[in-house]
């Protein structure tokens, strides 16, 4: 019998992202019950990170090539199985995980195992990845991975794979979950209906990674995928699109056709949904439970400074009210510290949250991700607080230490006002109130707010250390 080529697809826990503040990685001086609670929550956060499987690797693992067997290794839950006779290890690299990815890649290559790197960080910074890989895959790999596996089976792996055109999403590509250990995750029902974004918010690089034109999958394929997925897993669906209502007509047709399936789902949307009554109604009837909306800023000057132009500040509150009235809970994400913000901004954010009764507010500071326009601008203006060359050293979490100097507010005052803001937004009283007030999924809203009460407390520890250092230098 001929042994199949064994391919591991690796997803890493990140040193950034939803794993919270720097205090998660060490002792933070707490004692007694707080110390015990911190430790438990710290482990939970590090392990789960919302525990959603990586859709990228589900897609790659679904590509069947004769003579090749693929397995997803999610290192949030297991150690890398070094003792297995792998022929190739593919690692998905996001910027916040790049240092860890390189460490693993170097170790594997040292043992003689060929390593292929792919994912957003490879697409943005191939030069930083090249020394750590036998092979790089640039951009979306839906077609390239098949070619690479055929080359592997033929013993002719190349050093770089790239195309000039992104994959045609109209082509039917069934996603299988067979390479996943589904019991580990909160849900395995992840679906992406399209890629690309026509907007150019300067703190985001989706338009660089996936292009400026919205490319959609066929509605019939999506309906089939929902039918197939819901047969095995009745848990909630997550539509990972950056903006599920980017094309209202498309969304209207898709979600009308999903009503008979009786699924529950959440996704990411723009608040303009509040002005799209037919679509809003269809979302609610098709089982939409919650949406993440990027409010970013309620200051028009900040929105203009960062090119957040797809909806208007003065329409935000009315839209949020309309969406919540239709029974959909909202996670609204703000960024404080943008270029139009002043020390009056926190009070305005507090009023806005109280006025709209937003279910889960996310109060972030700007994380200037390398490769974005804002990163370049802050670098040119000399406002970054870290060496911009060390791209893997940047951290992108909710709100730990500041990575740059705000434009209008001196850094120490900013840190104090941000800490004060998160203290006022996140406390047990507000968590219970928001849980009771939520238009749906009350328990989840309560849980999230309690979780953030803890997380933002940890982030305030980091900020107070940063403030201390600033004052002593």
Residue numbers at the binding site for ligand B12 (CB under 6 A): 14, 16-18, 49-50, 52, 54-56, 59, 90-92, 94-96, 116, 118-121, 124, 137, 140-142, 145, 192, 204-206, 209-210, 240, 242, 367, 369, 396-397
451 belongs to the binding site for ligand SF4 (CB under 6 A): no
Q: Of the two residues 290 and 458, which places its CB atom closer to ligand SF4 in the complex?
A: 290
Find the shortest distance in angstroms from Cβ 246 to ligand SF4.
8
41 binding partner (options ligand B12, ligand SF4, none; Cβ < 5 to 8 Å by kind):
none
d(CA 446, CA 452): 10
Helix, strand, or coil here: 205? coil
All residues at 6 or more sequence positions from 74 whose CB lies less than 8 Å from its CB, including other chains: 11, 53, 54, 181, 184
201 binding partner (options ligand B12, ligand SF4, none; Cβ < 5 to 8 Å by kind):
ligand SF4
The dihedral formed by the CA atoms of 206, 362, 353 and 322, expressed in degrees to the nearest 10: 50
406 binding partner (options ligand B12, ligand SF4, none; Cβ < 5 to 8 Å by kind):
none
Q: Of the two residues 216 and 243, which places its CB atom closer to ligand SF4 in the complex?
A: 243
23 torsion bin: left (phi>0), alpha (psi -120 to 50), beta (else): alpha
Binding piece for ligand SF4, criterion CB under 6 A, among 10-18, 199-207, 232-240, 394-402 = 199-207
What strands, in cross-sheet order, belong to the sheet with 329-336?
A: 189-191, 237-239, 265-269, 288-296, 329-336, 360-365
d(CA 446, CA 429): 10
Among 9, 89, 197, 431, binds ligand SF4 (CB under 6 A): 197
402 belongs to the binding site for ligand SF4 (CB under 6 A): no
Cα 345 to chain centroid, rounded: 26
199 belongs to the binding site for ligand SF4 (CB under 6 A): yes
Q: CA 45, 49, 54 angle in degrees (round to 5)?
A: 160
All residues at 6 or more sequence positions from 105 whose CB lies less than 8 Å from its CB, including other chains: 89, 91, 115, 117, 132, 133
Q: CA 435, 311, 254, 207 torsion: positive or negative?
A: negative
Q: Of the two residues 23 and 297, which places its CB atom closer to ligand SF4 in the complex?
A: 297
419 binding partner (options ligand SF4, ligand B12, none; Cβ < 5 to 8 Å by kind):
none
Find out whether 399 and 16 touch, Cβ atoms under 8 Å: no
Task: Pull the structure tokens for residue 427.
Answer: 């406390």
116 binding partner (options ligand B12, ligand SF4, none; Cβ < 5 to 8 Å by kind):
ligand B12
Q: Site mask, ligand SF4, residues 231-250, x = CB under 6 A?
A: -----------xx-------
Find the shortest distance in angstroms from Cβ 428 to ligand B12.
24
- Binding region for ligand SF4 (CB under 6 A): 197, 199-201, 204, 206-207, 242-243, 294, 310
């Amino acid at each position: 019998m001929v042994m199949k080529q064994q391919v591991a697809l690796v997803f890493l826990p990140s040193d950034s992202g939803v794993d919270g503040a720097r205090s998660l990685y060490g002792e933070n001086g707490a004692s007694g019950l707080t110390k015990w609670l911190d430790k438990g929550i710290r482990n939970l956060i590090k392990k789960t990170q919302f525990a959603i499987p990586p859709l990228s690797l589900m897609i790659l693992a679904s590509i069947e090539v004769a003579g090749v067997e693929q397995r997803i290794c999610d290192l949030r839950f297991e150690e890398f199985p070094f003792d297995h006779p792998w022929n190739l290890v593919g690692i998905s690299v996001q910027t916040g995980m790049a240092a860890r990815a390189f460490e693993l890649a170097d170790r594997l290559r040292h043992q003689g195992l060929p390593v292929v790197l792919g994912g957003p960080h490879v697409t943005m910074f191939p030069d930083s990845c090249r020394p750590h890989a036998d092979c790089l895959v640039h951009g979306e790999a839906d077609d390239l991975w098949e070619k690479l596996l055929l080359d592997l089976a033929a013993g002719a792996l190349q050093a770089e794979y790239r195309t000039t055109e992104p994959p045609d999403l109209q082509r039917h590509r069934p996603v299988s979950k067979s390479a996943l250990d589904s019991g580990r995750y909160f849900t395995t029902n992840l679906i992406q209906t399209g890629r690309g974004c026509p907007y150019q918010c300067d703190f985001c690089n989706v338009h660089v990674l996936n292009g400026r034109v919205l490319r959609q999958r066929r509605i019939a394929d999506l309906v089939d995928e929902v039918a197939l997925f819901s047969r095995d897993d009745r848990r909630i669906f997550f539509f990972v699109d950056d903006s599920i209502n980017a094309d209202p007509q498309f969304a209207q047709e898709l979600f009308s056709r999903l009503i008979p399936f009786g699924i529950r789902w959440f996704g990411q949307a723009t608040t303009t949904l509040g002005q799209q009554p037919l679509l809003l109604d269809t979302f609610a009837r098709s089982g939409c439970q919650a949406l993440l909306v990027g409010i970013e800023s309620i200051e028009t000057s900040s929105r203009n400074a960062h090119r957040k132009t797809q909806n208007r500040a003065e329409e935000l509150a009315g839209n949020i009210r309309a969406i919540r009235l239709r029974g959909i809970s909202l996670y609204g994400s703000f960024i404080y510290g943008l270029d139009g913000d002043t020390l009056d901004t926190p009070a305005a954010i507090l009023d806005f949250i109280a006025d709209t009764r937003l279910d889960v507010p996310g109060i972030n500071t700007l994380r200037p991700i390398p490769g974005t326009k804002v990163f370049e601008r802050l670098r040119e203006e000399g406002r970054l607080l870290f060496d911009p060359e060390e791209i893997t050293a940047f951290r992108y979490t909710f709100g730990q230490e500041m990575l740059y100097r705000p434009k209008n507010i001196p850094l120490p005052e900013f840190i104090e006002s941000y800490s004060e803001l998160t203290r006022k937004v996140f406390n047990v009283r507000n968590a219970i109130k928001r849980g009771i007030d939520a238009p749906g999924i009350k328990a989840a809203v309560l849980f999230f707010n309690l979780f953030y009460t803890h997380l933002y407390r940890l982030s305030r520890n980091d900020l107070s250390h940063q403030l201390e250092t600033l004052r002593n230098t």
